[in-house]
Amino acid sequence: MPRILFPLLLLGAAACARPRLTESQEYYVGRGVAANAIAENPLVSNADLERYVAQVGYTIALESDRPETFKGYSFGVLRSDSINAFAAPGGFVFVTTGALRAMRNEDELAGVLAHEIAHVNLRHPEEAANRASAKAGALDLLGGVAKLVVAIAYRDDPDRRETMTKLVEAFGKVLDDLAQEVVNGYGRESELEADRMAVDLLTRPGVGYDPGALKDFVLRLPPKDRGHWATHPTLEGRARNIEEEIRRRGIRAEIDPVRTRRFLEATAALRR
């Protein structure tokens, strides 16, 4: 064996040991999750409201530990009475009109968005995408496609066509698995972790929201929507977790009425 081949093989083996989606692949998975969510609950066509939600979101996201994703964060409002918010891989963050109606002020909205941005920072959507991809065998397929690129010139090759067909099927399976997890939550420990990070993000020097508002919102969720948060810890458990984190960090913050006023103005159309 030529001497140069051995180190190359070792490098190849190391690279294959733990296949992961790249940032751009995660972004395409995120777009798929976003499209499926929008197919079920359309985006609200209210440019002012979307801009307002996005400004609250960017205020937090750009101060976070992951201010950049492959194509940046996108914030959208979905028309749905269900009280929910979620983040898909790549930084697509959605909040429902039901959730906005249930909120009382901007600091509550910031709390909910900070929780979702925390998921993106902690790479929970990406980990879920990787799990779903592994389950669907998509990562093996991605490896297979890469090998094909090396082995054959890129043209309309029957082997490649077959791989492509399998890849599209796998893509669909990944999205089906992932959509459920993204919308319903990433598991109890991940949700608590996201709440703790949300407290940190909300109180960074460039931000300055009252993290107590997230606790207030969580405690006010109506019983019918608690089932939606089945993968979340109990709401009382979440509230305690947030409160402990606020105490641990020695945070004293207040909700400024000017923010409450602009929140009520921005969401007025939803309350008519």
Partner 1 sequence: MEALIGAAWIGVLLQAGGEGVPLGPRAVNVRNGAFYESVRPFRKLLRDARYGEPVTVTGVLGSFSRVLLNDGTEAYIATSALVPREKFRPEAADEAEMGKIRAQGYEAGRFDPETEKKYKAQKGPALEAAYREVDALEARALVRDRAGLERALVEFRRAGRLGEFGPAGAGIP
Residues in 70-99 that interact with partner 1 by CB under 8 A: 70-76, 92
- Check the CA dihedral 98-103-104-109 and report its sign: negative
Q: How far is the CB of 223 from partner 1 (least distance, A)?
A: 31
Tokens of 50: 């979307």
245 contacts partner 1 (rule: CB under 8 A): no
Residues in 140-179 that interact with partner 1 by CB under 8 A: 142, 145-146, 148-149, 154, 160, 163-164, 167-168, 171-172, 175
Of 180-188, 205-213, 223-231, 264-272: span binding partner 1 (CB under 8 A): 205-213
256 contacts partner 1 (rule: CB under 8 A): yes
Of 57-65, 217-225, 229-237, 238-246: span binding partner 1 (CB under 8 A): 57-65
Closer by beta carbon to partner 1, 61 or else 235: 61
Q: Which residues of 158-192 are buried (b: 16+ CB within 10 A; e: fewer)?
A: eebeebeebbeebbeebbebbbebbbbbbeeebbb
* 3 state DSSP class of 71: coil
36 contacts partner 1 (rule: CB under 8 A): yes
29 contacts partner 1 (rule: CB under 8 A): yes
* H-helix or E-strand spanning residue 144: helix 138-151
CA–CA dist 87, 115 (Å, integer): 9
Per CB under 8 A, the list member of 106, 126, 181, 245 interacting with partner 1 is 106
Closer by beta carbon to partner 1, 23 or else 193: 23
Could you tell me the CA-to-CA distances from 38 to 4, 42, 43, 48, 80 in Å, in that order? 51, 5, 6, 19, 10
Q: How far is the CB of 184 from partner 1 (least distance, A)?
A: 20
Q: At what angle do helices 212-220 and 235-249 cross, to 10 degrees?
A: 170
Q: Report residue 222: phi and psi, to 5°.
A: -70, 150
Of 65-73, 111-119, 184-192, 220-228: span binding partner 1 (CB under 8 A): 65-73
Query: What residues contact 43, with CB distance under 8 A and at least 6 apart?
Result: 50, 76, 77, 78, 79
Amino acid letter at 193? E
207 contacts partner 1 (rule: CB under 8 A): yes
CA–CA dist 123, 112 (Å, integer): 17
Q: How far is the CB of 233 from partner 1 (least distance, A)?
A: 27
Residues that bind partner 1 (CB under 8 A): 21-25, 28-29, 31-32, 34-36, 38-39, 42-43, 47, 50-51, 54-55, 58-59, 62, 64-76, 92, 106, 138, 142, 145-146, 148-149, 154, 160, 163-164, 167-168, 171-172, 175, 203, 205-209, 254, 256, 258-259, 262
